Structure 1
Amino acid sequence: MSDKTERSKRNVPVPLQKLLAIDKAVTHQFCCTVERTLPGLQYRKHYKLLEYSCHALPWFFCSIAALWLLWNEELFQTQVNLLFGLTLDCILIALTKAAVRRRRPFNNDDDMLLTVGADAYSFPSGHVSRAIMVLYFTSQIIKSNFFLCLFLAIWAFSVSVSRILLKRHHLLDVAGGVVFGFVEGWLISHLWLSKATALWLVQYLSDEALNLEGLQDDVDPID
């Protein structure tokens, strides 16, 4: 099915069609400009490493592994809320992609690791939303040290640019991912799970006996 037929079938408004056309043209020009200095084929392996670093599965796996390996009741609240944030990100991005159904750039190589369902679509960028959400979580919610936040800020920026240079997304897809990431961070700060809730969830899922006595259902960070 051609792009024109698909747009007609979905009744995309003319102003939106024009905006998407401009987005494609500007994205192409951006890639061409950058690749004069950073040849795409030469730096593709670096962009792929950034892609792997922000894939959902490694983040879930490492977060769960850290919970079991560290097994520190003082860390459970932060770890459970991070898992909540990662889950929220996956749900919101999948639903939005399925609703919008914007195709990835025509010159994208279909070699992304472990993609399913809505991953075939482009708007918004899930890698970017996840990177921004993690940055927001670290810098604005748990208020980690400056150097970690600076590292994550550079990482999130690099992930965002690499999504365009890999031809995975257009500029508007990345901008949408940034907005989603900040919104998700804001939601997490307002839906923050208390320490008692986090300990209960860990105990329920692990069958390990934890000390829940005397814990108040306090909700800490709301910025």
Structure 2
Amino acid sequence: MPSPKAKTSGGRSGSSPGIGGNGRYEFMSLNRRPPQHLLQRQGSDPTSARLRASESPTRRRGSGSSNASTSSTGGQLPEEDCMRLNPSIVGIALSSLLATDLWLSKRLGVCACEDSSWGSIRPLMKLIEISGHGIPWLVGAAYCLYKSDSAAGQEVMLNLLMALVLDLILVGIVKAVVRRRRPSHNRMDMFATFSVDRYSFPSGHATRAAMCGRFLLAHLVLAAPLRVLVILWATLVGFSRVLLGRHNVTDVAFGFGMGYCQYNLVEALWMSSATLNGLMGQFA
């Protein structure tokens, strides 16, 4: 039967983890991980311990500084995205103007085809369209230049011919750059079209009508009824482009302004009769 002293020493050795079975004290290694049952008793595992360590104030301060540096260097991209999602007042105004232009142009295209509300006057509108075409004006100016006997008449016709060529070049350049399609309700049955004529902005008929109208009023001696007739013709040429569905309203409006300014350029590049005689002498 074991003695009480031995039982007491055995109980002490079993209750104190630092005493070995031989009665000597043993020290646990600092590098040794605690037993699993102690970790479970504390309600954590190695992974959660590492997560808690990562959530220390030092770590949080470090992550806050890294986030601040990231936002300071790359924070412009979200702002740019917000700017794209929130258009400016100018963008909204331009979009509204474009929508109004398309709606009004479609409403005014009453002669776009024979089945339209004003389809019966479509032949008359096409006749006005031909009167503002570039080919009849070029042929007419060249013929008047050839048949003119006076130096003053030749000077006027030569500058008119130069103005018509300049108008074709400038309108072709602007159409090739902008590349705006013609209205969807337009029928491509125009007289003598070219590749650039599939574009709509600006209206070449409107630029030509405005420029030639100013030219005729400035350099031809016309009575008052004829001057009114010239202004009425230029207005009808531009208005017929919208009625036929060839152009939008803004195409014609910009064309009138462009043609008005083109005349100022023609006046700046005006060729006198002396220059004309020098050119004729070189070709003679």
Same fold (TM over 0.5): yes
Q: Does 1:75 align with 2:153?
A: yes
Name the SS of the counterpart of 2:241 in structure 1.
helix
How big is the shift at 1:204? Answer: 4.2
Q: Which residue of 2 is the match for residue 56 of structure 1?
A: 134
Q: Identify the match of residue 144 of structure 1 among 221, 229, 233.
A: 221
Q: Which residue of 2 is the match for residue 132 of structure 1?
A: 210
Q: Which residue of 2 is the match for residue 198 of structure 1?
A: 276
Name the SS of the counterpart of 1:64 in structure 2.
helix
Q: Aligned in 2, Cα 1:204/1:20: closer, same or farther, shift over 3 Å?
A: farther
How big is the shift at 1:43? Answer: 0.4
Number of aligned residue pairs: 190
On the 8 A contact 2:167/2:208 being kept in 1, the answer is yes
Cα deviation code 1:27-86 (max 9, x no counterpart) = 122345xx9xx9432000001001111110110011111111234323111011101110
Separation in structure 1 between the aligned mates of residue 129 and residue 280 of structure 2, nearest angstrom: 30
Separation in structure 2 between the aligned mates of residue 147 and residue 100 of structure 1, nearest angstrom: 38
Q: Does 1:185 align with 2:249?
A: no
Q: Which residue of 2 is the match for residue 97 of structure 1?
A: 175
Percent identity among equivalent residues? Answer: 36
Q: Aligned in 2, Cα 1:193/1:93: closer, same or farther, shift over 3 Å?
A: same
Name the SS of the counterpart of 1:112 in structure 2.
coil
Gaps of 5+ in 2: 1-89
Q: Does 1:167 align with 2:245?
A: yes
Runs of at least 4 residues off by over 3 Å: 13-18, 201-205
Separation in structure 1 between the aligned mates of residue 184 and residue 244 of structure 2, nearest angstrom: 12
Q: Identify the match of residue 117 of structure 1 among 195, 199, 204.
A: 195
Q: Which residue of 2 is the match for residue 21 of structure 1?
A: 99
How big is the shift at 1:143? Answer: 5.3
Greater RCO (CA < 8 Å, at least 6 residues apart): 1
How big is the shift at 1:129? Answer: 0.6
How big is the shift at 1:14? Answer: 5.2
On the 8 A contact 2:138/2:161 being kept in 1, the answer is yes
How big is the shift at 1:149? Answer: 2.0
Gaps of 5+ in 1: 1-12, 208-223
On the 8 A contact 1:135/1:156 being kept in 2, the answer is yes
Q: CA RMSD in A?
A: 2.2
Q: Aligned in 2, Cα 1:105/1:66: closer, same or farther, shift over 3 Å?
A: same
